[in-house]
Amino acid sequence: MSKSYRVAILGATGAVGTELLELLEHRNFPVSDLRLLASERSVGRTLRFRGENLAVEPVSDRAFDHVDLVLASAGGSASKTWARVAVEKGSVVIDNSSAFRMHPEVPLVVPEVNPLAAASHKGIIANPNCTTILMAMAVWPLHQVKPVKRLVVATYQSASGAGAKAMAEVKTQASAILQGQQPVAEVLPYPLAFNLFPHNSPLNDLGYCEEEMKMVNETRKIFGSQQIRITATCVRVPVLRAHSEAINLEFETPFSPDEAREILSHSPGVKLVEDWGTNHFPMPIEASGRDEVLVGRIRQDISHPCGLELWLCGDQIRKGAALNAVQIAELLVEKNLLKLSATIYASS
Protein backbone atom coordinates (compact mmCIF):
# COMPACT_ATOMS: atom_id res chain seq x y z
CA MET A 1 0.00 0.00 0.00
CA SER A 2 2.70 2.47 -1.00
CA LYS A 3 0.23 4.71 -2.80
CA SER A 4 -2.24 6.82 -0.83
CA TYR A 5 -5.85 7.66 -1.67
CA ARG A 6 -8.37 10.42 -1.25
CA VAL A 7 -11.29 8.99 0.72
CA ALA A 8 -14.76 10.23 1.62
CA ILE A 9 -17.07 8.72 4.23
CA LEU A 10 -20.73 9.33 3.40
CA GLY A 11 -22.73 9.16 6.64
CA ALA A 12 -19.65 9.84 8.75
CA THR A 13 -21.46 10.63 12.00
CA GLY A 14 -23.58 7.46 12.17
CA ALA A 15 -22.74 4.30 14.07
CA VAL A 16 -21.13 2.65 11.04
CA GLY A 17 -19.53 5.88 9.82
CA THR A 18 -17.66 6.48 13.06
CA GLU A 19 -16.54 2.85 13.03
CA LEU A 20 -15.25 3.28 9.48
CA LEU A 21 -13.22 6.25 10.67
CA GLU A 22 -11.71 4.23 13.52
CA LEU A 23 -10.90 1.26 11.29
CA LEU A 24 -9.22 3.38 8.60
CA GLU A 25 -6.86 4.67 11.29
CA HIS A 26 -6.43 1.40 13.19
CA ARG A 27 -5.70 -0.62 10.04
CA ASN A 28 -3.47 2.13 8.63
CA PHE A 29 -5.35 2.43 5.36
CA PRO A 30 -3.35 4.68 2.99
CA VAL A 31 -5.40 7.87 3.21
CA SER A 32 -3.90 11.07 1.83
CA ASP A 33 -7.04 13.15 2.26
CA LEU A 34 -10.26 12.36 4.16
CA ARG A 35 -13.64 14.02 3.76
CA LEU A 36 -16.39 13.44 6.30
CA LEU A 37 -19.81 13.89 4.70
CA ALA A 38 -23.18 13.92 6.44
CA SER A 39 -26.56 15.62 6.43
CA GLU A 40 -26.97 19.30 7.21
CA ARG A 41 -27.83 18.62 10.86
CA SER A 42 -24.34 17.14 11.42
CA VAL A 43 -22.42 19.89 9.66
CA GLY A 44 -20.15 21.70 12.10
CA ARG A 45 -19.31 18.64 14.13
CA THR A 46 -15.72 17.45 14.22
CA LEU A 47 -14.39 13.92 14.37
CA ARG A 48 -10.88 12.84 15.32
CA PHE A 49 -8.62 11.11 12.79
CA ARG A 50 -4.89 10.54 13.19
CA GLY A 51 -4.57 13.23 15.82
CA GLU A 52 -6.52 15.88 13.93
CA ASN A 53 -10.05 17.22 14.28
CA LEU A 54 -11.80 17.00 10.93
CA ALA A 55 -14.93 19.03 10.22
CA VAL A 56 -18.03 17.30 8.91
CA GLU A 57 -19.04 18.68 5.51
CA PRO A 58 -22.45 18.75 3.83
CA VAL A 59 -23.11 16.30 1.01
CA SER A 60 -23.06 17.95 -2.41
CA ASP A 61 -21.87 17.31 -5.96
CA ARG A 62 -18.65 19.15 -5.21
CA ALA A 63 -17.95 16.99 -2.16
CA PHE A 64 -16.96 14.12 -4.47
CA ASP A 65 -14.51 16.12 -6.58
CA HIS A 66 -11.06 14.47 -6.70
CA VAL A 67 -12.10 11.56 -4.45
CA ASP A 68 -10.76 8.07 -5.17
CA LEU A 69 -12.89 6.06 -2.76
CA VAL A 70 -16.28 6.63 -1.13
CA LEU A 71 -17.33 4.52 1.83
CA ALA A 72 -21.09 5.04 1.94
CA SER A 73 -23.18 4.31 5.00
CA ALA A 74 -25.98 6.85 4.97
CA GLY A 75 -28.91 4.64 3.96
CA GLY A 76 -30.40 3.47 0.69
CA SER A 77 -31.98 6.75 -0.40
CA ALA A 78 -28.74 8.68 0.11
CA SER A 79 -26.79 6.03 -1.80
CA LYS A 80 -29.23 6.10 -4.70
CA THR A 81 -28.88 9.87 -4.82
CA TRP A 82 -25.11 10.21 -4.48
CA ALA A 83 -23.40 6.97 -5.56
CA ARG A 84 -23.85 7.64 -9.27
CA VAL A 85 -22.66 11.23 -8.80
CA ALA A 86 -19.50 9.96 -7.10
CA VAL A 87 -18.85 7.35 -9.81
CA GLU A 88 -19.32 9.88 -12.61
CA LYS A 89 -16.67 12.03 -10.92
CA GLY A 90 -14.23 9.10 -10.90
CA SER A 91 -14.75 7.58 -7.44
CA VAL A 92 -15.22 3.94 -6.56
CA VAL A 93 -18.08 3.53 -4.11
CA ILE A 94 -18.32 0.78 -1.49
CA ASP A 95 -21.93 0.99 -0.40
CA ASN A 96 -23.24 -0.36 2.89
CA SER A 97 -26.93 0.09 2.08
CA SER A 98 -29.30 -2.30 0.31
CA ALA A 99 -29.60 0.05 -2.70
CA PHE A 100 -27.42 -1.92 -5.13
CA ARG A 101 -26.92 -5.36 -3.56
CA MET A 102 -29.10 -7.29 -5.97
CA HIS A 103 -28.27 -5.25 -9.08
CA PRO A 104 -26.79 -7.74 -11.58
CA GLU A 105 -23.90 -5.40 -12.48
CA VAL A 106 -22.90 -4.66 -8.89
CA PRO A 107 -20.69 -7.21 -7.12
CA LEU A 108 -21.77 -8.20 -3.60
CA VAL A 109 -18.59 -9.00 -1.72
CA VAL A 110 -17.38 -10.68 1.45
CA PRO A 111 -13.58 -10.73 1.01
CA GLU A 112 -13.12 -14.09 2.77
CA VAL A 113 -15.77 -15.65 0.52
CA ASN A 114 -15.80 -14.17 -3.00
CA PRO A 115 -12.93 -11.68 -3.37
CA LEU A 116 -12.67 -12.24 -7.13
CA ALA A 117 -16.13 -10.73 -7.59
CA ALA A 118 -14.71 -7.30 -6.74
CA ALA A 119 -12.75 -7.26 -9.99
CA SER A 120 -15.97 -6.96 -12.00
CA HIS A 121 -17.02 -3.67 -10.44
CA LYS A 122 -18.07 -0.74 -12.60
CA GLY A 123 -17.71 1.88 -9.91
CA ILE A 124 -19.93 0.43 -7.19
CA ILE A 125 -19.37 -2.53 -4.86
CA ALA A 126 -22.10 -3.49 -2.42
CA ASN A 127 -21.54 -4.52 1.18
CA PRO A 128 -23.98 -7.33 2.10
CA ASN A 129 -26.49 -7.16 4.91
CA CYS A 130 -24.97 -7.65 8.36
CA THR A 131 -26.72 -10.95 9.08
CA THR A 132 -25.75 -12.29 5.66
CA ILE A 133 -22.08 -11.44 6.17
CA LEU A 134 -21.90 -13.10 9.59
CA MET A 135 -23.66 -16.22 8.32
CA ALA A 136 -21.49 -16.45 5.20
CA MET A 137 -18.33 -16.35 7.31
CA ALA A 138 -19.37 -19.53 9.14
CA VAL A 139 -21.16 -21.40 6.35
CA TRP A 140 -18.87 -20.78 3.37
CA PRO A 141 -15.87 -22.80 4.67
CA LEU A 142 -18.17 -25.79 5.22
CA HIS A 143 -19.93 -25.26 1.88
CA GLN A 144 -16.53 -25.48 0.16
CA VAL A 145 -16.05 -29.00 1.54
CA LYS A 146 -19.60 -30.27 1.10
CA PRO A 147 -22.17 -28.08 -0.67
CA VAL A 148 -25.08 -27.01 1.51
CA LYS A 149 -28.45 -28.25 0.26
CA ARG A 150 -30.67 -26.42 2.73
CA LEU A 151 -30.05 -23.69 5.28
CA VAL A 152 -32.41 -22.69 8.09
CA VAL A 153 -31.43 -19.67 10.18
CA ALA A 154 -32.94 -17.74 13.07
CA THR A 155 -31.33 -14.42 13.93
CA TYR A 156 -31.16 -12.57 17.23
CA GLN A 157 -30.40 -9.03 16.11
CA SER A 158 -29.15 -6.30 18.39
CA ALA A 159 -30.23 -2.67 18.51
CA SER A 160 -27.02 -1.66 16.71
CA GLY A 161 -28.57 -2.90 13.47
CA ALA A 162 -30.97 0.03 13.64
CA GLY A 163 -28.21 2.55 14.33
CA ALA A 164 -26.84 4.65 17.15
CA LYS A 165 -30.22 6.19 17.99
CA ALA A 166 -31.76 2.76 18.51
CA MET A 167 -28.94 1.80 20.85
CA ALA A 168 -29.50 4.95 22.87
CA GLU A 169 -33.25 4.32 22.90
CA VAL A 170 -32.82 0.85 24.42
CA LYS A 171 -30.74 2.31 27.24
CA THR A 172 -33.39 4.96 27.91
CA GLN A 173 -36.16 2.37 27.83
CA ALA A 174 -34.32 0.09 30.26
CA SER A 175 -33.79 2.97 32.66
CA ALA A 176 -37.47 3.93 32.45
CA ILE A 177 -38.65 0.37 33.12
CA LEU A 178 -36.33 -0.02 36.11
CA GLN A 179 -37.81 3.19 37.53
CA GLY A 180 -41.35 1.91 37.09
CA GLN A 181 -42.11 4.11 34.08
CA GLN A 182 -43.51 3.24 30.67
CA PRO A 183 -40.83 2.88 27.98
CA VAL A 184 -41.18 5.09 24.91
CA ALA A 185 -40.48 3.73 21.42
CA GLU A 186 -39.58 6.24 18.71
CA VAL A 187 -36.76 4.75 16.63
CA LEU A 188 -38.09 1.18 16.69
CA PRO A 189 -41.84 0.43 16.48
CA TYR A 190 -42.04 -1.22 19.91
CA PRO A 191 -40.04 -1.06 23.15
CA LEU A 192 -37.02 -3.34 22.85
CA ALA A 193 -35.68 -3.20 26.41
CA PHE A 194 -36.69 -6.42 28.23
CA ASN A 195 -38.59 -7.39 25.08
CA LEU A 196 -38.13 -8.86 21.61
CA PHE A 197 -40.12 -8.87 18.39
CA PRO A 198 -39.87 -10.16 14.81
CA HIS A 199 -37.86 -7.85 12.57
CA ASN A 200 -40.02 -4.87 11.63
CA SER A 201 -39.00 -4.55 7.97
CA PRO A 202 -41.84 -4.75 5.40
CA LEU A 203 -43.53 -8.12 4.82
CA ASN A 204 -44.04 -9.76 1.44
CA ASP A 205 -47.06 -11.80 0.33
CA LEU A 206 -45.54 -14.98 1.77
CA GLY A 207 -45.15 -13.45 5.20
CA TYR A 208 -41.36 -13.05 4.99
CA CYS A 209 -39.94 -9.69 5.99
CA GLU A 210 -37.42 -7.78 3.92
CA GLU A 211 -34.58 -8.63 6.30
CA GLU A 212 -35.27 -12.35 5.92
CA MET A 213 -35.36 -12.14 2.14
CA LYS A 214 -32.04 -10.28 2.16
CA MET A 215 -30.45 -13.32 3.80
CA VAL A 216 -32.00 -15.62 1.20
CA ASN A 217 -31.19 -13.64 -1.94
CA GLU A 218 -27.83 -12.18 -0.91
CA THR A 219 -26.43 -15.52 0.24
CA ARG A 220 -27.30 -17.11 -3.09
CA LYS A 221 -25.61 -14.25 -4.97
CA ILE A 222 -22.45 -14.31 -2.83
CA PHE A 223 -22.15 -18.10 -2.99
CA GLY A 224 -22.88 -18.10 -6.72
CA SER A 225 -25.63 -20.67 -6.31
CA GLN A 226 -29.37 -20.29 -6.79
CA GLN A 227 -29.94 -23.92 -5.80
CA ILE A 228 -29.41 -23.54 -2.05
CA ARG A 229 -32.73 -23.70 -0.24
CA ILE A 230 -32.74 -21.02 2.44
CA THR A 231 -35.29 -19.87 4.97
CA ALA A 232 -34.83 -17.28 7.70
CA THR A 233 -36.60 -15.88 10.75
CA CYS A 234 -35.20 -12.55 11.91
CA VAL A 235 -35.85 -11.26 15.42
CA ARG A 236 -34.82 -8.04 17.15
CA VAL A 237 -33.56 -8.70 20.70
CA PRO A 238 -32.62 -6.41 23.63
CA VAL A 239 -28.88 -6.55 23.05
CA LEU A 240 -26.98 -3.32 22.39
CA ARG A 241 -24.38 -4.59 19.95
CA ALA A 242 -23.50 -7.82 18.07
CA HIS A 243 -25.96 -10.15 16.36
CA SER A 244 -26.41 -13.86 17.04
CA GLU A 245 -27.62 -16.59 14.69
CA ALA A 246 -28.78 -20.20 15.12
CA ILE A 247 -28.05 -22.07 11.89
CA ASN A 248 -29.16 -25.51 10.72
CA LEU A 249 -27.39 -26.91 7.67
CA GLU A 250 -28.40 -29.90 5.56
CA PHE A 251 -25.84 -31.63 3.32
CA GLU A 252 -26.03 -34.50 0.82
CA THR A 253 -24.02 -36.73 3.17
CA PRO A 254 -23.28 -36.57 6.90
CA PHE A 255 -20.90 -33.82 8.04
CA SER A 256 -19.03 -34.70 11.22
CA PRO A 257 -19.12 -31.97 13.91
CA ASP A 258 -15.44 -32.65 14.60
CA GLU A 259 -14.59 -32.09 10.93
CA ALA A 260 -16.62 -28.87 10.94
CA ARG A 261 -14.73 -27.70 14.03
CA GLU A 262 -11.41 -28.44 12.39
CA ILE A 263 -12.40 -26.51 9.27
CA LEU A 264 -13.78 -23.48 11.12
CA SER A 265 -10.86 -23.34 13.55
CA HIS A 266 -8.62 -22.55 10.57
CA SER A 267 -11.02 -20.30 8.63
CA PRO A 268 -10.06 -16.62 8.25
CA GLY A 269 -12.14 -14.20 10.26
CA VAL A 270 -13.69 -16.97 12.37
CA LYS A 271 -12.92 -17.91 15.97
CA LEU A 272 -14.12 -21.21 17.43
CA VAL A 273 -15.57 -20.69 20.92
CA GLU A 274 -16.61 -23.90 22.63
CA ASP A 275 -16.27 -25.10 26.22
CA TRP A 276 -18.75 -27.91 26.61
CA GLY A 277 -17.76 -28.50 30.24
CA THR A 278 -18.85 -25.03 31.33
CA ASN A 279 -21.56 -24.61 28.66
CA HIS A 280 -19.66 -21.60 27.29
CA PHE A 281 -20.37 -20.73 23.69
CA PRO A 282 -20.39 -17.47 21.65
CA MET A 283 -22.15 -14.54 23.31
CA PRO A 284 -22.81 -11.07 21.90
CA ILE A 285 -21.19 -9.43 24.92
CA GLU A 286 -17.93 -11.18 23.96
CA ALA A 287 -18.31 -10.56 20.22
CA SER A 288 -18.86 -6.80 20.64
CA GLY A 289 -15.89 -4.81 19.41
CA ARG A 290 -14.19 -7.85 17.88
CA ASP A 291 -13.36 -8.40 14.24
CA GLU A 292 -13.85 -12.18 14.27
CA VAL A 293 -17.16 -13.99 13.99
CA LEU A 294 -17.43 -16.28 17.01
CA VAL A 295 -18.75 -19.74 16.14
CA GLY A 296 -19.55 -22.66 18.42
CA ARG A 297 -22.01 -25.22 19.78
CA ILE A 298 -21.45 -27.27 16.63
CA ARG A 299 -23.45 -30.47 16.89
CA GLN A 300 -25.17 -33.18 14.94
CA ASP A 301 -28.80 -32.46 14.10
CA ILE A 302 -30.56 -35.40 15.80
CA SER A 303 -33.55 -34.99 13.46
CA HIS A 304 -31.57 -35.52 10.25
CA PRO A 305 -28.51 -37.72 9.54
CA CYS A 306 -27.04 -35.11 7.18
CA GLY A 307 -27.84 -32.11 9.37
CA LEU A 308 -25.47 -29.91 11.32
CA GLU A 309 -26.28 -27.22 13.91
CA LEU A 310 -24.13 -24.25 14.84
CA TRP A 311 -24.38 -20.96 16.73
CA LEU A 312 -22.57 -17.70 16.03
CA CYS A 313 -22.19 -14.16 17.31
CA GLY A 314 -20.63 -11.27 15.44
CA ASP A 315 -20.32 -7.53 15.80
CA GLN A 316 -22.88 -6.04 13.43
CA ILE A 317 -21.08 -2.70 13.23
CA ARG A 318 -17.64 -4.19 12.57
CA LYS A 319 -17.58 -7.35 10.43
CA GLY A 320 -21.29 -6.93 9.73
CA ALA A 321 -20.72 -3.50 8.21
CA ALA A 322 -17.67 -1.22 8.60
CA LEU A 323 -14.92 -3.81 8.76
CA ASN A 324 -16.20 -5.67 5.70
CA ALA A 325 -16.27 -2.38 3.76
CA VAL A 326 -12.70 -1.50 4.76
CA GLN A 327 -11.55 -5.02 3.88
CA ILE A 328 -13.09 -4.57 0.42
CA ALA A 329 -11.19 -1.29 0.10
CA GLU A 330 -7.96 -3.02 1.13
CA LEU A 331 -8.65 -5.72 -1.46
CA LEU A 332 -9.11 -3.09 -4.18
CA VAL A 333 -5.81 -1.46 -3.24
CA GLU A 334 -3.94 -4.77 -3.07
CA LYS A 335 -5.22 -5.91 -6.46
CA ASN A 336 -4.98 -2.45 -8.08
CA LEU A 337 -8.75 -2.39 -8.58
CA LEU A 338 -9.38 1.05 -7.11
CA LYS A 339 -10.11 2.49 -10.52
CA LEU A 340 -13.06 2.54 -12.85
CA SER A 341 -13.54 0.23 -15.77
CA ALA A 342 -14.30 1.65 -19.23
CA THR A 343 -18.05 1.29 -18.63
CA ILE A 344 -19.34 2.85 -15.45
CA TYR A 345 -22.49 1.73 -13.71
CA ALA A 346 -25.55 3.78 -14.64
CA SER A 347 -28.45 3.61 -12.19
CA SER A 348 -31.89 2.86 -13.55
The answer to whether residue 343 scores a pLDDT higher than 50 is no
List the domain range (segments joined by +) for residue 63.
Answer: 5-127+322-335
DSSP labels, 39-76: -GGGTT-EEEETTEEEEEEE--GGGGTT-SEEEE-S-H
* Percentage of residues in the chain having pLDDT higher than 70: 97
Please give the DSSP secondary-structure letter assigned to residue 146. S
234 is catalytic: no
243 in the same domain as 146: yes
What's this model's pTM, rounded to 2 decimal places? 0.94
146 in the same domain as 32: no
Identify the CATH number of the domain in which residue 98 sits.
Answer: 3.40.50.720
| Mean pLDDT of the 123-146 span | 98
Strand ranges of the sheet holding 52-58, from the earlier edge strand across to the other edge: 46-49, 52-58, 31-38, 5-10, 69-72, 92-95, 124-126
In a domain? residue 80: yes
95 in the same domain as 14: yes
Q: Of 143, 234, 243, 313, which one is the catalytic site residue? A: 243
Residue 210 annotated as part of some ligand binding site: yes
289 in the same domain as 211: yes
243 is catalytic: yes
Whole-number Å distance between alpha carbons of 253 and 300: 12
Whole-number Å distance between alpha carbons of 128 and 234: 16
212 in the same domain as 92: no
The answer to whether residue 347 scores a pLDDT higher than 50 is no
Residue 161 annotated as part of some ligand binding site: yes
Please name the helix (run of DSSP H) or strand (run of DSSP E) that holds residue 250, with its range, or none.
strand 243-251
pLDDT of residue 179: 98
The answer to whether residue 342 scores a pLDDT higher than 50 is no
Q: Of 121, 130, 234, 313, which one is the catalytic site residue? A: 130
Identify the CATH number of the domain in which residue 217 sits.
Answer: 3.30.360.10
Please name the helix (run of DSSP H) or strand (run of DSSP E) that holds residue 20, with its range, or none.
helix 15-26
Q: Per-residue pLDDT tens for 229-275?
A: 999 999 999 999 999 999 999 999 999 999 999 999 999 999 999 99
In a domain? residue 47: yes
pLDDT of residue 340: 58
In a domain? residue 218: yes
280 in the same domain as 258: yes
151 in the same domain as 297: yes
| Mean pLDDT of the 73-87 span | 95
225 in the same domain as 253: yes
Q: Per-residue pLDDT tens for 12-65?
A: 999 999 999 999 999 999 999 999 999 888 988 999 999 999 999 999 999 999
Residue 205: C-alpha distances to residues 131, 209, 216 (Å): 22, 9, 16
The answer to whether residue 211 scores a pLDDT higher than 60 is yes
287 in the same domain as 143: yes
The answer to whether residue 8 scores a pLDDT higher than 50 is yes
Q: For residues 56 and 45, is the Cβ–Cβ distance under 8 A?
A: yes
96 in the same domain as 25: yes
State the total domains in the chain.
2
Residue 41 annotated as part of some ligand binding site: yes
pLDDT of residue 333: 95
Whole-number Å distance between alpha carbons of 152 and 247: 6
In a domain? residue 184: no
136 in the same domain as 111: no
In a domain? residue 181: no
Residue 15 annotated as part of some ligand binding site: yes
Degrees to nearest 5, angle at CA 204 with 232 and 214: 45
In a domain? residue 241: yes
pLDDT of residue 164: 86
pLDDT of residue 338: 85
In a domain? residue 58: yes
Residue 39 annotated as part of some ligand binding site: no
In a domain? residue 154: yes
Q: How confident is the model at residue 99 (pLDDT cuts 50, 70, 90)?
A: very high
140 in the same domain as 280: yes
| Mean pLDDT of the 313-330 span | 97
